[in-house]
Amino acid sequence: MQDRLMPDAADVSPPISRDIWELKYRLKDAGGAPVDSSLDDTFWRVARAAAAVEKGGKRGREQWAKRFHDGMADLGFLPAGRILAGAGTGRAVTLFNCFVLGKIEDDLSAIFDGVKDAALTMQQGGGIGHDFSTLRPKGAPVASIGADASGPVSFMEVWDAMCRTIMSAGARRGAMMATLHCDHPDIEAFIGAKADPAKLRNFNLSVLVTDAFLEAVRGDRAWDLKFGGKVYRTLPARALWERIMRATYDFAEPGVVFIDRVNARNNLNYCEEIHATNPCGEQPLPPFGACLLGSINLARLIEKPFTGDAHLDVGKLAERVKVAVRFLDNVIDVSNYPLPAQREEAFAKRRIGLGVTGLADALIFCGVRYGTDEAAKLAGTWMAAIQNAAYAASSELAEEKGAFPLFDAERFLASPNVALLDKEVRAAIRRHGIRNGCLTSIAPTGTISLLAGNVSSGVEPVFDYRYSRRLLSRDGSAREETVEDYAHAAFRRQFGPTAALPDAFVRAADLTPAEHLAMQAALQPWVDSAISKTINCPEDISFEDFKDIYLEAHARGLKGCTTYRPNPVTGAVLQSAPAA
């Protein structure tokens, strides 16, 4: 076992990095003996696995393996956790984080086929999303047995129990998303389903909010709840909206997905329709859709941090993005798929989700305070650079390896995300096509950001400069570990323990909901899929102000909104630690 966990990054190897590597990513044999000798060795295993599909014989593959390895070695590109844990291990696990399962047909046998699909997907480590809107409402007749249906929420409990059972064996908790359409007759039961702290703990819930519903809310009109062409009940749209908002205010569930916008802005809307997202919301996916995630660690790409000349190295960024896109595209070919339908879907569209992590730390390094106009603008520029570089790289790949099978130049180029790209990038796509149907997405990066020395995760602000985290071991036991924010640790190393923190240092709880929202809104135009982001709200925010966040999120072009207000049902998720 190496003492130096990260030869290239010895300055950022706090205990948490080592623990995460040891616990989550280090390959061990069946008897528990280590196979990977160091984190670097882990990166080589993963790099070689991804390079296995490259042409050019052994030499060609080794050259690509080296480029993939080098992209990861300084923690500048971080493949998602599933890839680090599973690639090159020979195990029957999928390398995809995110799945949405197929349409659930409204009959008992098909419902339990759906449970089976979900179980098989989860067994391999995927987080899953499901739309339950296709199930008939509670009390609707089931003619064949002369009884009444029990409704989608009761079937969700079957999935919940299944998830609990499948996941009880490992160090991860299960993660599932359930969506329900805002006109489903059981929508109110769905909205209230998690008020009971014992219920549906393996699910996140999201209401699929349509434009028609929001118009009815704005116009204070009546809203029909219907199923199979029959109107079950009519209620004021505003009453339903209030109910969603009240539940979210009281116990942080459900979230909302602006589903019409999701579909309207989807690059692939000419060949698919989306009704659900993965568990953390960054990936709206069609039935049997899956997405591979990876993140560019912005905190690692800042030159001259804490000086007046601090800046993101744009050249390095483009190079990193290029390697990351090729890497993720290869992983589509080498991954295992729990279900044949998932493989077919992935191969037809070659969806990847490249995102960022360490955004807040990168801003701190540049002396820019998260949440300000300057920060929103700068973050938008960075994301625009990533978006353009990713599409350029994928178009180059298409020239070399072929476009994704369902590529249709006219319709693809007409989609809103693609319309925003630089002219040269669009021209390249017109000429060569594109390898990947959707390219960018911003994940929570909950675990890999810890591996990278606790950079601020995804696009979230720094939670706190020091806080304690609960680490789950493989045997299911938990322990607390204190972690320090990456930029904070760097500042302390450079300027000493007593130097006053510059203004750019700001924590999640110091920000207003509007500042949180402004950051998410600045990035969304440059992200194909969606963004996993929680708008933190103070406990004493008024209900009226709280409601406005959601309408503002819609007005600002977001695809969904998730807030968190401390509440008795969920409690606090992370605990600040006393400053050292």
Name which of 28 and 173 has its Cβ closer to ligand ADP.
173
How many Å apart are CA 387 and CA 381, to the nearest integer? 10
Name which of 152 and 174 has its Cβ closer to ligand ADP.
174
User: Which span (173-181, 371-379, 541-549, 571-579) binds ligand ADP, by CB under 6 A?
Assistant: 173-181
Polymer length of the chain: 580
CA atoms within 13 A on the CB side of 496: 3
Residue from 6, 80, 276, 558 binding ligand ADP (CB under 6 A):
80
What's the min distance (Å) between Cβ of 353 and ligand ADP? 9
280 binds ligand ADP (CB under 6 A): yes
Residue from 204, 266, 278, 388 binding ligand ADP (CB under 6 A):
278
Phi and psi angles of residue 278, each rounded to the nearest 5 degrees, phi first: -70, 175
| Paired strand residues for 482 | 468
- For residue 25 the two structure tokens come to 């990513």
User: Which span (234-242, 277-285, 316-324, 504-512) binds ligand ADP, by CB under 6 A?
Assistant: 277-285
Burial tier of 419 (Cβ tally within 10 Å: 0-12, 13-18, 19+):
exposed
What's the min distance (Å) between Cβ of 253 and ligand ADP? 16
Phi and psi angles of residue 544, each rounded to the nearest 5 degrees, phi first: -65, -45
Catalytic site residue 278?
A: yes
- Segments in 197-313 forming alpha helices (H): 211-218, 237-251, 259-264
Nearest CA to 370 among 440, 459, 452? 459
Name which of 38 and 124 has its Cβ closer to ligand ADP.
124
- Segments in 306-372 forming alpha helices (H): 314-334, 340-349, 359-365
Nearest CA to 444 among 352, 533, 509, 520? 533
Name which of 54 and 282 has its Cβ closer to ligand ADP.
282
User: Which span (64-72, 246-254, 437-445, 562-570) binds ligand ADP, by CB under 6 A?
Assistant: 437-445
Residue from 174, 289, 305, 338 binding ligand ADP (CB under 6 A):
174
Catalytic site residue 366?
A: no
Residue from 88, 127, 287, 453 binding ligand ADP (CB under 6 A):
127
What's the min distance (Å) between Cβ of 295 and ligand ADP? 7
352 binds ligand ADP (CB under 6 A): no
Of 86-105, binders to ligand ADP (CB under 6 A) are 97-98
- For residue 155 the two structure tokens come to 């079937």
DSSP 173: -
How far from the centroid of its chain's Cα atoms is residue 321's Cα?
18
How many Å apart are CA 268 and CA 286, to the nearest integer? 10
356 binds ligand ADP (CB under 6 A): no
Please answer whether residues 468 and 480 qualify as being in contact, where contact means their C-beta atoms are separated by less than 8 angstroms: yes
What's the min distance (Å) between Cβ of 569 and ligand ADP? 20
Residue from 443, 452, 537, 553 binding ligand ADP (CB under 6 A):
443
Question: What letter represents residue 261's amino acid?
Answer: R
Catalytic site residue 280?
A: yes
Number of residues that bind ligand ADP (CB under 6 A): 20
Pairing of strands 255-258, 203-209: parallel
User: 280, 291, 366, 537: which one is catalytic?
Assistant: 280
Residue from 153, 175, 296, 438 binding ligand ADP (CB under 6 A):
175
Catalytic positions, written as ranges: 278, 280, 282
Give me the residues that bind ligand ADP (CB under 6 A), please: 80-81, 97-98, 127, 172-175, 278-280, 282, 293, 443-448
